[in-house]
Amino acid sequence: MTESLPALTEPAGAAAPHVPAVRRGAFRRLVRNPLGLVAAVVLLVVVVGAAAAPWLTTHAPDAADLRSAFGPSAPGHPLGLDSAGRDIWSRLLFGARNTLGGALLALAVAMVLGIPAGLVAGYAGRWFDAVSGWVVNLLMALPAMIVLLAARAIIGPTVWALMIILGVLAAPSFFRLVRGIVVNVRHELYVDSARVSGLPPWRIIGRHVLVVVRAPIIIQISLVAGVALGLQAGLEFIGVGSSSDLPTWGGMLNEGFQFVQRDRTLLLWPGLALGLTSAALVLLGAALRDVLEDRGTDPVVRRRDRAAQRAVAPAVLDGKAERSPLLSIRSLAVSYALPDGSQREVVHEVDLDVRPGEVVGLVGESGSGKTQTAFSALGILPSGGRVSRGSIQVDGQEVVGLSAASWRQLRSHVVSYVPQEPMSNLDPSFTVGSQLVEPIRAATGASRAQARERALGLLRSVEIEDPERTFRAYPHEISGGMAQRVLLAGAMACNPRLLIADEPTTALDVTVQAEVLEVLRRLQQERGLGVLLVTHSLGVVADLCDTVAVMQDGRIVESGPVDQVLTAPREEYTRRLLAAVLDEGQPPTVAAGRADEGER
């Protein structure tokens, strides 16, 4: 008996970031797979046989009659009698209950311990990940059979207790599988989006993370069940399982082995039952893998069609500077911990204000610190990053060091976020509608029907022509521009007063960019939103912003009203940025007045 625990048998897709979720029609596809169908039928027959054992047999499994030992098949004894004159058919069916029950117990323990621990370790990381990783390594280093034999010597002949121990030893297989996938998924933009939309961690795990690990877990269940079945039968076979007359397939095999010269059928029936059930589990696992990990249908469509920018006239400041800021950043520094224990400061001494109704552009070359500044104001710096100095006030409230619960409150009532890559920020496993409804319900406590109405209204407000259809669509069924409108609608769901948009149109083509910017401009004006707009594009700044701050190497090197900064820049760096726009052949018509000034 050299079976290893199934930690070594993780499905191929275990570490991949985009393991597709269980999709509609998976059952139908499984049934169309001949091997999967046969395996499922065999398992169903075994389970039904075990459950209906009292009705399918005429003799108790332990009713012995030594005078009839090794009797042939006869009416009432379809498979004959064993060495103690007990009915083999009855022992086979009741044995299925104990054998499958033991395997199920081990499986349940392994799942209950491994899956939640893997989810938490993968999602939250930190000390829990370190400690659980250490425990898992320890468990995996233990040889299962030796541990079970030692446990049997200590606790006596109780197969159920041994199955619980087996479950503990098998838990690392689920832990490693789930943790590996969650670590990849937690950095997905749609998980960030869910965080920013105010969903608490348990809801994000339940909705966006669990759905991704569902398919590999189903596959792993069949593998672990097969191993647990084999180990359980092995213990019974070598006579260290249950001590009583409890019928089990392993115990029947043991008896058949002893009397193999006298009656070979004693070995045949339990061997057949065990072999067929184990094979069915393995085949079902393989069929499920084919069905659930069908990568050809991965619906994530990523658009990275960077487009040219359009430079038009600058904005005016119409007294907005008078109002107290919605976002006020003072002397902000952001640092990352390096592996050697030192800190790397990536944002230095940033001061920035966004007032109600004001659109503030944050521009600068790649890596200049725009996103880190915006993420600090949203409380979503990646792990390892922290605000190391300074103050950030959102709507008058200091948010540096704010608790996760208070952040959720702020994000679901005051500040919203529009991300850069619309497709990556929508979970491919859910319809657009459900991704809008969930945050609305979390933020407002509305009923499902009310949230649906509100979501449809929001889709209308971002000028989506057929809101009902878009509501029902999956992300891969809509275009990039439409996806960005959906995210804009989602950002408006909590009636925010401050919107932070991180390059909201960069991933879109030029015509769609203009349309989405137009929607953003209208929403901003209608709702009097304060907007912090992170962008590479001076054209977008000229088109939309009232003030602009120019970042270089983590510092703001110049800021002021858009017309002043773009027409009479004080800093050499700003001049170079403007010259770069010129080099790209785009008209620097920032001084000429905005074409659509009248509209604003």
Ligand X SMILES: Nc1ncnc2c1ncn2[C@@H]1O[C@H](COP(=O)(O)OP(=O)(O)OP(=O)(O)O)[C@@H](O)[C@H]1O
b (16+ CB within 10 A) / e for 166-181: bbbbbbbbbbbbbbbb
Q: Tell me 314's DSSP state.
A: P
User: For ligand X, which residue of 143, 275, 367, 396 counts as binding (CB under 6 A)?
Assistant: 367
SS (H, E, C) 335-362: EEECCCCCEEEEEEEEEEEECCCCEEEE
Among residue numbers 533 through 572, which ones bind ligand X (CB under 6 A)? 536
How is 573-587 classified by DSSP, letter by letter? HHHHHHHHHHHTT--
Scanning 118-126, 223-231, 313-321, 370-378 for contacts with ligand X by CB under 6 A, the matching segment is 370-378
Task: Compute φ and ψ for 501, nearest 5 degrees.
Answer: -115, 120
User: For ligand X, which residue of 20, 364, 475, 481 counts as binding (CB under 6 A)?
Assistant: 364
Q: How far is the CB of 385 from ligand X (least distance, A)?
A: 6
Spatial neighbors of 307 by CB under 8 A, at least 6 apart, are 508, 509, 510, 513
Beta carbon nearer to ligand X, 303 or 370: 370
Among residue numbers 372 through 401, which ones bind ligand X (CB under 6 A)? 372, 382, 384-385
User: For ligand X, which residue of 261, 342, 366, 403 counts as binding (CB under 6 A)?
Assistant: 366
Q: Tell me 14's DSSP state.
A: G
Q: How far is the CB of 381 from ligand X (least distance, A)?
A: 8
Q: Which two three-digit tokens encode residue 536?
A: 């590479």
The answer to whether the Cα torsion of 49, 51, 54, 60 is positive or negative is positive
186 binds ligand X (CB under 6 A): no
Beta carbon nearer to ligand X, 19 or 501: 501
The answer to whether the Cα torsion of 31, 32, 35, 36 is positive or negative is negative
Q: How far is the CB of 346 from ligand X (least distance, A)?
A: 3
Decide if 387 contacts 400 (C-beta within 8 A): yes
User: For ligand X, which residue of 216, 314, 369, 496 counts as binding (CB under 6 A)?
Assistant: 369
Q: How far is the CB of 521 from ligand X (least distance, A)?
A: 22
CA 23: distance to chain centroid?
15
Q: How far is the CB of 93 from ligand X (least distance, A)?
A: 59
Among residue numbers 305 through 344, which ones bind ligand X (CB under 6 A)? 336
Beta carbon nearer to ligand X, 10 or 503: 503
Spatial neighbors of 32 by CB under 8 A, at least 6 apart, are none
Q: How far is the CB of 505 from ligand X (least distance, A)?
A: 13
346 binds ligand X (CB under 6 A): yes
Beta carbon nearer to ligand X, 248 or 372: 372
Decide if 363 contacts 576 (C-beta within 8 A): no
132 binds ligand X (CB under 6 A): no
Beta carbon nearer to ligand X, 269 or 573: 573
The residues pairing with 345 across neighbouring beta strands, listed in sequence order, are: 335
370 binds ligand X (CB under 6 A): yes
424 binds ligand X (CB under 6 A): no
504 binds ligand X (CB under 6 A): no
Q: How far is the CB of 338 from ligand X (least distance, A)?
A: 8
Scanning 65-73, 172-180, 205-213, 369-377 for contacts with ligand X by CB under 6 A, the matching segment is 369-377
User: For ligand X, which residue of 242, 309, 371, 434 counts as binding (CB under 6 A)?
Assistant: 371
Q: How far is the CB of 499 from ligand X (least distance, A)?
A: 17
Q: How far is the CB of 367 from ligand X (least distance, A)?
A: 4
Helix locations, 33-158, DSSP H: 34-51, 53-56, 88-124, 126-141, 144-155
The residues pairing with 561 across neighbouring beta strands, listed in sequence order, are: 547
Identify the burial level of 242 via C-beta atoms within 10 angstroms of its C-beta, where 0-12 means exposed, 13-18 middle and 19 or more buried: buried
Q: Tell me 22's DSSP state.
A: P
Scanning 74-82, 317-325, 361-369, 436-444 for contacts with ligand X by CB under 6 A, the matching segment is 361-369
Beta carbon nearer to ligand X, 61 or 364: 364
Q: Name the residue with the smallest CB distance to ligand X.
A: 371
Residues in the interface with ligand X (CB under 6 A) total: 14
Residue with the two structure tokens 């919203």: 416
Q: How far is the CB of 189 from ligand X (least distance, A)?
A: 13
Spatial neighbors of 14 by CB under 8 A, at least 6 apart, are 176, 177, 180, 181, 216
Residue 325 gets the label, from left (phi > 0), alpha (psi -120 to 50) or beta, of beta
Interatomic CA distance for residues 441 and 443, integer angstroms: 5
Interatomic CA distance for residues 338 and 369, integer angstroms: 17
Q: Which two three-digit tokens encode residue 125?
A: 């990381």
Q: How far is the CB of 571 from ligand X (least distance, A)?
A: 17
Beta carbon nearer to ligand X, 310 or 536: 536
Q: Which residues lie near ligand X (CB under 6 A)?
A: 336, 346, 364, 366-372, 382, 384-385, 536
